[in-house]
Amino acid sequence: MKTIKEIGEFGFIRLLEERNRVFFNRVIKGIGDDCAILEKDQESVFLISTELFIEDVHFLKKKSPPYELGLKVVNASLSDIAATGGRPLYLFTSIAVPQETGLDYLESLYKGIKEACKKYKVDIVGGDTSSSPDRIAISIAVLGEAKKDKLVYRKGAHPGDLIYVTGYLGDSAAGLMLIKEKLSAPEDIAKKLVNAHHIPCPRLEIGNMVAEHGLANAMIDISDGLIADLNHICEASNTGAIIYLKNLPISQELTCLKERLSFPLHELALYGGEDYELIIVVPSNKAPRFKRLCSEKGFSVYLIGRMVKEKGIRLALDNRHIPLTIKGYTHF
Amino acid sequence: MKTIKEIGEFGFIRLLEERNRVFFNRVIKGIGDDCAILEKDQESVFLISTELFIEDVHFLKKKSPPYELGLKVVNASLSDIAATGGRPLYLFTSIAVPQETGLDYLESLYKGIKEACKKYKVDIVGGDTSSSPDRIAISIAVLGEAKKDKLVYRKGAHPGDLIYVTGYLGDSAAGLMLIKEKLSAPEDIAKKLVNAHHIPCPRLEIGNMVAEHGLANAMIDISDGLIADLNHICEASNTGAIIYLKNLPISQELTCLKERLSFPLHELALYGGEDYELIIVVPSNKAPRFKRLCSEKGFSVYLIGRMVKEKGIRLALDNRHIPLTIKGYTHF
Q: Under an 8 A CB cutoff, do A126 and B50 touch? A: yes
Smallest Cβ distance to B94: which of A51, A104, A127?
Answer: A51
Residue A97 with chain B: CB contacts under 8 Å: 4
Q: Under an 8 A CB cutoff, do A58 and B130 touch? A: yes
Contact B304, B163 (CB under 8 A): yes
Give me the mean pLDDT over the A182-188 stretch. 95
φ, ψ at B56 (rounded to 5°): 75, -5
Q: Is the confidence at residue B228, as pLDDT, over 70? A: yes
- Segments of A202-288 assigned E as strands: 218-221, 240-244, 278-282
Beta strand pairing status for B312-317 and B240-244?
parallel
Q: Under an 8 A CB cutoff, do B9 and A103 touch? A: no
Q: Is the confidence at residue B190, as pLDDT, over 60? A: yes
Q: How confident is the model at residue A8 (pLDDT cuts 50, 70, 90)?
A: confident
Name which of B104, B117, B128 to mutate to probe chain A: the one with the most chain A Cβ atoms within 10 A of its Cβ.
B128
Q: Which residues contact A75 (CB under 8 A, 6 or more apart)?
A: A116, A199, A200, A201, A202, A276
> For A93-139, what is each residue's pLDDT tens digit?
999 999 889 889 999 999 999 999 999 999 998 888 888 999 999 99
Q: Is the confidence at residue A251, as pLDDT, over 80? A: yes
- What is the spatial distance between Cα A93 and Cα A111, in angstroms, rounded to a whole number? 13
Q: Please state which of the four CATH numbers 3.90.650.10, 3.30.420.10, 3.40.50.10490, 3.40.50.300 is assigned to the domain occupying A162-323.
A: 3.90.650.10
Q: Under an 8 A CB cutoff, do B24 and A97 touch? A: no
> For A232-249, what is each residue's pLDDT tens digit?
999 999 999 999 999 999
Residue A41 with chain B: CB contacts under 8 Å: 40-41
CA distance A307 to chain B (A): 28
Contact A115, A30 (CB under 8 A): no
Nearest CA in chain A to B144: A25
Q: Please state which of the four CATH numbers 3.30.70.260, 3.30.1330.10, 3.40.50.720, 3.50.50.60 is assigned to the domain occupying B4-150.
A: 3.30.1330.10
Q: Under an 8 A CB cutoff, do A41 and B36 touch? A: no
- Tell me the pLDDT of chain A averaged across its residues: 91
Instruction: Check the CA dihedral A20-A24-A25-A27 and report its sign.
Output: positive
Give me the mean pLDDT over the B30-56 stretch. 86
Number of Cβ pairs < 8 A linking chain A and chain B: 242
CA A277 to chain centre: 6
Question: Where do the domains of chain B lie?
Answer: 4-150, 162-323
> What is the 8-class DSSP label of residue A35?
S
Residue with the bigger pLDDT between A38 and A13: it is A38
> For A281-306, what is each residue's pLDDT tens digit?
999 999 999 999 999 999 999 999 99
Residue B125 with chain A: CB contacts under 8 Å: 20, 27, 30-31, 36, 38, 48
The per-residue pLDDT for B256 is: 95
Q: Under an 8 A CB cutoff, do A40 and B40 touch? A: yes
Question: To the nearest 5 percent, what fractions of chain A are helix, strand and coil?
Answer: 40, 25, 35
Residue A146 vs residues A44, A50, A83, A166, A304: alpha-carbon distances, Å:
6, 17, 11, 21, 28
CA B118 to chain centre: 20
> For A130-177, what is each residue's pLDDT tens digit?
889 999 999 999 999 999 999 999 999 999 999 999 999 999 999 999
- Tell me the pLDDT of chain B averaged across its residues: 91
Give me the mean pLDDT over the B211-240 stretch. 96
Q: How confident is the model at residue A32 (pLDDT cuts 50, 70, 90)?
A: low
The per-residue pLDDT for B91 is: 94
Give me the mean pLDDT over the A37-54 stretch. 90
Q: A132-141, A222-231, B8-17: which has the minimum mean pLDDT?
A: B8-17
Q: Under an 8 A CB cutoff, do B20 and A114 touch? A: yes
Q: Is the confidence at residue B315, as pLDDT, over 90? A: yes
The helix/strand/coil state of A300 is coil
Which amino acid, residue B307? M
Nearest CA in chain A to B30: A125
Q: Is the confidence at residue A10, as pLDDT, over 70? A: no
Q: Is the confidence at residue B5, as pLDDT, over 80? A: no
The per-residue pLDDT for A129 is: 83
Q: Is the confidence at residue B331, as pLDDT, over 60? A: no
Rounded to 5°, the CA angle A271-A274-A280 comes to: 80
DSSP-assigned beta bridge partners for residue B19: none
> For B231-246, what is each residue's pLDDT tens digit?
999 999 999 999 999 9
Q: Under an 8 A CB cutoff, do A96 and B137 touch? A: yes
Residue A139 with chain B: CB contacts under 8 Å: 50, 52, 94, 137, 139
Q: Under an 8 A CB cutoff, do A143 and B19 touch? A: no
